[in-house]
Structure 1
Amino acid sequence: MRVLLSTYGSRGDVEPLVGLATRLRELGAEVRVCAPPDEEFARRLAGVAEVTPVGWSASALSTSAPPASSLSQRAAELIAAQFDAVTEAARGCDVLVATGMLPAAAGALSVAEKLGVRAVSVTFQQLTLPSPHHAPLAYPGRPFPPEVTDNRTLWDLDAASIDALFGEPLNTSRTANGLHPVDDVRGYVLTDRPWLATDPTFDPWRTPADLDVLQTGAWFLPDERPLPVEVEAFLAAGPPPVYVGFGSMPLHGAPHAARDALAAVRAHGHRALLSRGWADLTATEEDCLVVGEVDHQALFPRVAAVVHHGGAGTTTTAARAGVPQVVVPQAADQPYWANRVADLGIGVAHDGPVPTAGSLTAALTTALAPDTRVRAAAVATGVRSDGASVAARLLLDLAGRPR
């Protein structure tokens, strides 16, 4: 059985595939992955799957965000890259999993259609799934009219916006590859039954809704990598520190994020573990250790709190660890995850993307309170760890069914 996992996006779009690929291999499947050509992604997927690089570096793209006027051009290039790379990788596969940025998923699903390969569309956050219970995310340069508040109307506007941005680029590539054009890009990408790879306790899918959604649980791989020696030494040298890291976010609007975060952590008498991330944060103070990539699953249970950007993976990992959080959302679905943390009482949703020493000091006052830690520990007991295994079994069952 051969399975192709196709994505394009940040670390949060790639990391879940490491867990799924590992579980698929344990069940005897051969796994291929199409992903951006970033070195860190190739390193995480090494030994887990055969990797085909697609498109530009995701980290380079994040630091040179295009103006809204060029979104369609970027989409055209990305979709064409999907047809070039995914077509070869998908040959001989029994099922394809498409996720990541919408135009990339549209390209990968079109390749599956062209080759006659079964396909599943997956999202790692529910804000791309039409529902009367929440509003869609607006694309850059295409805000929704402020007077429109009905969610169903907003979802209609979202579909029109997606068609305007990505319809022509997608259909140009489809026509060139002998496929009929599609007139509803979002509906084509979501398919009849999209999968939602988030935790049902931490992120429940509410019904009734407009889609038949299959929620598998979040895709994690139990990480057995040891923490670096210097991290172990730092943890052993004093009480639990506060972790500060913003993952794949470049933090263009917060040039003093490291300085302000350290000031806030010190105001509460704590040391800090500062993650460089794509923003390349740094510090030289003795009460702060700067780290590169580390195993969050091993680290988070040993810190006093986690200050982060609100990516789905980081937020859910912190929730599983039972550690209080301060979420400083930067873009996309991150405000949603920040609000989930606040609603569950396991931390604080920072007001806006630009942290200051004062705002983080106030947020940590709540996050470090004993009641917040107790609540975080209680919520952690309900967060599942078997999402990748569930998804792997479902995929192999789908691949083995008669057409």
Structure 2
Amino acid sequence: MAAAPDGARPREKEKTMRVLVSSAGTRGDVQPVLALALEVRRLGHDARLCVPPNFVEWVAGHGFDAVPMGVEMRRPAPGQPPAPVPDLITDQFDTLAAAVKGCDAVLGANAHQYAARSVAERAGLPYVTAVYAPVALPSPELAPPPSPGETWEPGRPGDNERRWAATTAAWNARALERVNHNRARLGLAEIGDVLRHNVTDRPWLAADATLGPAPAGLDVVQTGAWLLRDPAPLPAELAAFLDAGDPPVYVGFGSMPLPPDTSRAVVEAARANGRRVVLARGWADLAPVDDGPDCVSVGDVNQQALFARVAVAVHHGGAGTTVAAARAGVPQVVVPMFSDQFYWASRVVALGVGTSASLAGLHAGTLNAALHEALLPGVEATAGATAWDVTTDGATAAARLLVAAVSG
């Protein structure tokens, strides 16, 4: 080894850390943690990701150690009975307990990480829970996400506290016994509140502060949204369609189920507003209703590139889609169906960057009115101005915090 200048001792190479990241859900849940892992690696460190089996190949293709955990989140096959669901809590404990070996910190993405904190506790490692929406954090300021089939209203402080108490009881009834059974297997003490144990006393909020500010009165680290940069070009057929006319309406609902006549309703509504349509097929298989040249359907494409070229984005209100549209400065029509989607719809309306429509009774007439409102010049101007306030470095900020948690 060469001598150090001025006789100083040679500087030892900084130890590379590895973070274990646990994620469950659909692509919208996994994509942000992949963005985080890429930033961790850019800082000279490494990550191991535990993800649903159908995302293992995608994550591994970016050069990470990818471990299957839980069940595949795929569109149900027509006419096929649902596959048996294993004990997902025990599966998380077993998978993460094996995957944590050689890691220096653990991060659980979303509140449904039943094992990650316990595994980190058993290993003596720093741990953090990150959520993607303020409504996931128990707070008097916001009501909890609704149960499937229910809608959501922000509520009032007293009422919100009652609703969070009911939500906490439901989480405990569903999971507390199994969590404590598995904690006992690790030699850990029982807990009394699954939800607050999972969320922790100081969670991270991986959401943009303009779109989704942290609830007041909570000790929350708001990093900004974790955006996966996508350099992929748009497919040639789509690019040609965009070049052939005025900016179209984008319609996409991701992994959400939809009534069978949704394609016709959105196409008719767009035509009533004099707009062409890009249909993102998604799990509902949205498709053109005729051979008209004013409509095209696409699979998974680069939303960042596409949204920059559309007049309005009609979508389900997923956290990732909402921030992508806001960042592009495009007006939005949000049709929420599940969980935090109602919260994001309320924020789009509150910020004046779009409107929302209810899935119940959704038809060409209601969509026509929603599109007309979203296409007003004032909404377009507000969406364009708001885009400048949307931060893009949330994953970088979170990666730096992780490294500091280990090295500090």
TM-score of the pair, normalised by structure 2: 0.89
Question: Against the structure 1 CA distance between its residues 11 and 187, is the aligned structure 2 distance closer, same or farther, given a 3 Å change threshold?
Answer: same
Correspondence 1:126 to 2:159: no
Match of 1:43 among 28, 41, 58: 58
Correspondence 1:196 to 2:205: yes
Match of 2:263 among 255, 258, 279: 258
What is the CA distance between 1:16 and its match in structure 2? 0.6
Contact 1:329 1:353 in 2 (8 A): no
Q: Distance in 2 between matches of 1:152 and 1:136?
A: 9
CA deviation profile, 1:315-337 (whole Å, cap 9, x unmatched): 01100100000000011111110
Q: Distance in 2 between matches of 1:350 and 1:303?
A: 19
Q: What aligned pairs does 1:2-401 form with structure 2 within 5 A after superposition?
A: 2-39=18-55, 42-43=57-58, 46-60=61-75, 77-100=87-110, 102=112, 105-140=113-148, 150-207=159-216, 209=217, 211-251=218-258, 254-283=259-288, 284-285=290-291, 286-353=293-360, 355-401=362-408
CA deviation profile, 1:351-394 (whole Å, cap 9, x unmatched): 34552111110100011111111110011110101111100000
Structure 2, unaligned runs of 5 or more:
1-16
Structure 1, unaligned runs of 5 or more:
68-72
| Corresponding pairs, count | 386
Contact 1:310 1:337 in 2 (8 A): yes
What is the CA distance between 1:45 and its match in structure 2? 5.4
CA deviation profile, 1:91-115 (whole Å, cap 9, x unmatched): 111111101352xx02222222222
3-state SS in 2 of match to 1:362: helix
Question: Against the structure 1 CA distance between its residues 381 and 142, is the aligned structure 2 distance closer, same or farther, given a 3 Å change threshold?
Answer: closer
Contact 1:62 1:249 in 2 (8 A): no
Contact 1:6 1:33 in 2 (8 A): yes
Q: Distance in 1 between matches of 2:360 and 2:341?
A: 10
Q: Distance in 2 between matches of 1:222 and 1:330?
A: 27
Contact 2:18 2:102 in 1 (8 A): yes
What is the CA distance between 1:261 and its match in structure 2? 0.6
Q: Distance in 1 between matches of 2:180 and 2:77?
A: 26
Q: Distance in 1 between matches of 2:296 and 2:261?
A: 17
Q: Which stretches of structure 1, 4 residues or longer, exceed 6 Å deviation after superposition? A: 61-64, 141-144
AA in 2 matched with 1:392: A
CA deviation profile, 1:40-95 (whole Å, cap 9, x unmatched): x632552142211111111257999x99xxxxx96x71111112222222111111
Contact 2:138 2:164 in 1 (8 A): yes
Question: Against the structure 1 CA distance between its residues 399 and 45, is the aligned structure 2 distance closer, same or farther, given a 3 Å change threshold?
Answer: same
TM-score of the pair, normalised by structure 1: 0.90
Q: Distance in 2 between matches of 1:229 and 1:143?
A: 39
Contact 2:47 2:64 in 1 (8 A): yes
Q: Distance in 2 between matches of 1:63 and 1:79?
A: 28
3-state SS in 2 of match to 1:38: helix
Q: Distance in 1 between matches of 2:279 and 2:57?
A: 24
Does 185-194 or 372-381 show the bigger shift? 185-194
Q: Distance in 1 between matches of 2:331 and 2:178?
A: 43
Q: Distance in 2 between matches of 1:354 and 1:114?
A: 50
Q: Distance in 2 between matches of 1:59 and 1:399?
A: 35
Does 156-165 or 305-314 show the bigger shift? 156-165
Does 161-170 or 148-157 show the bigger shift? 148-157
AA in 1 matched with 2:25: G
Contact 1:148 1:154 in 2 (8 A): no
Q: Distance in 2 between matches of 1:143 and 1:185?
A: 24
What is the CA distance between 1:138 and its match in structure 2? 4.0
Does 84-93 or 171-180 show the bigger shift? 171-180
AA in 1 matched with 2:50: C
Q: 1:70 — aligned with what?
A: none
AA in 1 matched with 2:168: A
Q: Distance in 1 between matches of 2:360 and 2:222?
A: 29
3-state SS in 1 of match to 2:308: helix
3-state SS in 2 of match to 1:121: strand
Q: Distance in 2 between matches of 1:148 and 1:166?
A: 27
AA in 1 matched with 2:214: W
More helix by share: 1
AA in 2 matched with 1:156: A
Contact 1:244 1:308 in 2 (8 A): yes
Question: Against the structure 1 CA distance between its residues 62 and 375, is the aligned structure 2 distance closer, same or farther, given a 3 Å change threshold?
Answer: farther
AA in 2 matched with 1:319: A
